[in-house]
Structure 1
Amino acid sequence: MSAVSWSTEERLRLAKLQDYCILDTLPDTTYNELAELAAHVCQMPAGLVTFVDTNRLWVKARVGADISETPRYLAFCDQTIRHVDTLVIEDAQQHPEFRNNPLVVGPPYVRFYAGHPLITPDGYALGTLCVLDYQPRRMSPQQINALRMLSHQVVAQMELSRQAHQLQQVNNSLEQRVIERTNSLSTSLHRLLKVQSALLKREATSRHNALHDPLTGLPNRSYFLQRLEQSVQLTQRNSNHQYAVLFIDLDSFKPVNDTLGHEVGDQLLTHVANRIKRLLRKSDLVARLGGDEFAVLLDDIAGKNEAITAVRRIQWHLEQPFTVANRQLSISASIGIALSQLGYQQAESVLRDADTAMYQAKRLAKERSQMEINLQLNHLEEQASSPIVVQETNHNAQQFVVFDSHIKSRTQARLILEDDLRQALIRGQFRLHYQPIFELKTQQLAALEGLLRWNHPRKGWVCANEFIHIAEQIDVVRQLSPSLIDQACQQLVKWGVSADSYAGSDRAYSLQNLTNKERSPHIASDLKLHLNLSASQLRSPQLVPLWQSALEKHQLNGSRFQLEIDESLLLTEETTIAANLKALKALGLNLCIDGFGKGHFSFSRLHQLEVNSLKIDPVFVAQAFDHKDNVDLLKTINDFGRSANITVIGSGIETTQQLELLISLDYQLGQGNWLANALASEHIDKAISK
Structure 2
Amino acid sequence: MDQSSEKQRLEDLKHYALLDSAPEESFDRITRIAKKVFGVPIALISLVDENRQWFKSRQGLETCETPRDISFCTHAIEKNQPLIVHDASEDPRFRDSPLVTGDPNIRFYAGIPLRSPKGFNLGTLCVMDQQPRIASLEHIEILRDLARLVVDEIELRALAAFDCLTGMHRRTKFMEVAETELQRATRYGSNFSILIFDIDHFKTINDTHGHAAGDLVLQKVAEICKANLRSVDIASRFGGDEFVVLLPETNLSDARVIAERLRHQFETCQIEEGGHIMQFTTSFGLADHANSDLKTINAILNEADDYLYEAKTNGRNKVLTSTA
TM-score, normalised by the number of residues in structure 1: 0.25
CA distance in 1, matches of 2:160, 2:184: 25
User: Where does the alignment leave 5 or more consecutive residues of structure 1 unmatched?
Assistant: 1-185, 366-396, 408-690
For 2:321, give the aligned amino acid: V
CA distance in 2, matches of 1:236, 1:228: 12
Match of 1:400 among 316, 319, 323: 319
For 2:312, the equivalent position in structure 1 comes to 362
Match of 1:222 among 142, 165, 172: 172
CA distance in 2, matches of 1:305, 1:187: 58
CA distance in 2, matches of 1:269, 1:191: 44
For 1:285, the equivalent position in structure 2 comes to 234
Q: Cα offset for 1:223?
A: 2.3
Measured at CA, do residues 194 and 238 of structure 1 come closer, stay the same or move farther in structure 2, by a change above 3 Å?
closer
Which residues of 2 match residues 247-286 of structure 1 at below 5 A?
A: 247-286=196-235
Q: Does 1:202 align with 2:152?
A: yes
CA contact (8 A) 2:252 2:286 kept: no
For 2:111, the equivalent position in structure 1 comes to none
For 1:355, give the aligned amino acid: D
Q: Cα offset for 1:230?
A: 2.7
Q: Secondary structure at the match of 1:341?
A: coil
Residue deviations 1:282-328 (CA, integer Å, cap 9, x gap)? 23221111111111112112x33212211111111100133243532
For 2:257, the equivalent position in structure 1 comes to 309
CA contact (8 A) 1:249 1:293 kept: yes
Number of equivalences: 187
Q: Cα offset for 1:197?
A: 4.4
For 1:331, the equivalent position in structure 2 comes to 280
TM-score, normalised by the number of residues in structure 2: 0.52
CA contact (8 A) 2:252 2:287 kept: no
User: Where does the alignment leave 5 or more consecutive residues of structure 2 unmatched?
Assistant: 1-135
Q: Cα offset for 1:355?
A: 1.6
Which residues of 2 match residues 154-165 of structure 1 at below 5 A?
A: none
For 2:296, the equivalent position in structure 1 comes to 346
CA distance in 2, matches of 1:187, 1:262: 54
Q: Cα offset for 1:398?
A: 1.0
For 1:203, give the aligned amino acid: E
Measured at CA, do residues 198 and 232 of structure 1 come closer, stay the same or move farther in structure 2, by a change above 3 Å?
closer
For 1:340, give the aligned amino acid: H
Which residues of 2 match residues 182-197 of structure 1 at below 5 A?
A: 195-197=145-147
CA contact (8 A) 1:232 1:347 kept: yes
CA distance in 1, matches of 2:232, 2:215: 27
CA distance in 1, matches of 2:185, 2:252: 15
CA distance in 1, matches of 2:252, 2:211: 37
CA contact (8 A) 1:245 1:350 kept: yes
Measured at CA, do residues 243 and 190 of structure 1 come closer, stay the same or move farther in structure 2, by a change above 3 Å?
closer
Which residues of 2 match residues 452-601 of structure 1 at below 5 A?
A: none
Q: Cα offset for 1:271?
A: 1.1
CA distance in 2, matches of 1:204, 1:230: 19
CA distance in 2, matches of 1:200, 1:338: 37
CA distance in 2, matches of 1:200, 1:234: 27
Residue deviations 1:616-673 (CA, integer Å, cap 9, x gap)? xxxxxxxxxxxxxxxxxxxxxxxxxxxxxxxxxxxxxxxxxxxxxxxxxxxxxxxxxx
CA contact (8 A) 1:285 1:298 kept: yes
For 2:221, give the aligned amino acid: V
For 2:288, give the aligned amino acid: L
CA distance in 2, matches of 1:236, 1:188: 48
Q: Cα offset for 1:203?
A: 0.8
Measured at CA, do residues 231 and 188 of structure 1 come closer, stay the same or move farther in structure 2, by a change above 3 Å?
closer
CA distance in 2, matches of 1:311, 1:319: 12
CA distance in 2, matches of 1:194, 1:324: 47
CA distance in 2, matches of 1:262, 1:187: 54
Q: Cα offset for 1:187?
A: 11
Q: Cα offset for 1:237?
A: 2.7
Residue deviations 1:518-548 (CA, integer Å, cap 9, x gap)? xxxxxxxxxxxxxxxxxxxxxxxxxxxxxxx
Q: Cα offset for 1:250?
A: 0.7
Measured at CA, do residues 204 and 234 of structure 1 come closer, stay the same or move farther in structure 2, by a change above 3 Å?
closer
CA contact (8 A) 1:339 1:403 kept: no
Q: Secondary structure at the match of 1:246?
A: strand
Residue deviations 1:162-204 (CA, integer Å, cap 9, x gap)? xxxxxxxxxxxxxxxxxxxxxxxx9987985665344323211
CA distance in 2, matches of 1:281, 1:190: 39
CA distance in 2, matches of 1:211, 1:334: 25
Q: Secondary structure at the match of 1:342?
A: coil
Q: Secondary structure at the match of 2:172?
A: helix
Q: Secondary structure at the match of 1:335?
A: strand
CA contact (8 A) 1:267 1:324 kept: no
For 2:100, the equivalent position in structure 1 comes to none
For 1:288, give the aligned amino acid: R
Please, what is the CA RMSD of the aligned residues? 2.6
Q: Does 1:318 align with 2:266?
A: yes
For 2:300, give the aligned amino acid: V
For 2:248, give the aligned amino acid: D
Q: Cα offset for 1:245?
A: 0.5
For 1:313, give the aligned amino acid: R
Match of 2:187 among 219, 237, 242: 237
For 1:220, give the aligned amino acid: R
Q: Secondary structure at the match of 2:196?
A: strand
For 2:66, the equivalent position in structure 1 comes to none
CA distance in 2, matches of 1:260, 1:360: 28
Residue deviations 1:45-69 (CA, integer Å, cap 9, x gap)? xxxxxxxxxxxxxxxxxxxxxxxxx
CA contact (8 A) 1:338 1:351 kept: yes
Q: Secondary structure at the match of 2:245?
A: strand
CA contact (8 A) 1:356 1:403 kept: no
The structure with higher relative contact order (CA 8 Å, sep 6+) is 2
- Return the index of the structure with the highest Cα Rg: 1
CA distance in 1, matches of 2:297, 2:187: 15
CA distance in 1, matches of 2:139, 2:180: 41
CA distance in 1, matches of 2:231, 2:152: 27
Q: Cα offset for 1:242?
A: 1.8
For 1:333, give the aligned amino acid: T
For 1:567, the equivalent position in structure 2 comes to none
Q: Does 1:213 align with 2:163?
A: yes
CA contact (8 A) 1:268 1:324 kept: no
For 1:294, the equivalent position in structure 2 comes to 243
Q: Cα offset for 1:358?
A: 0.8
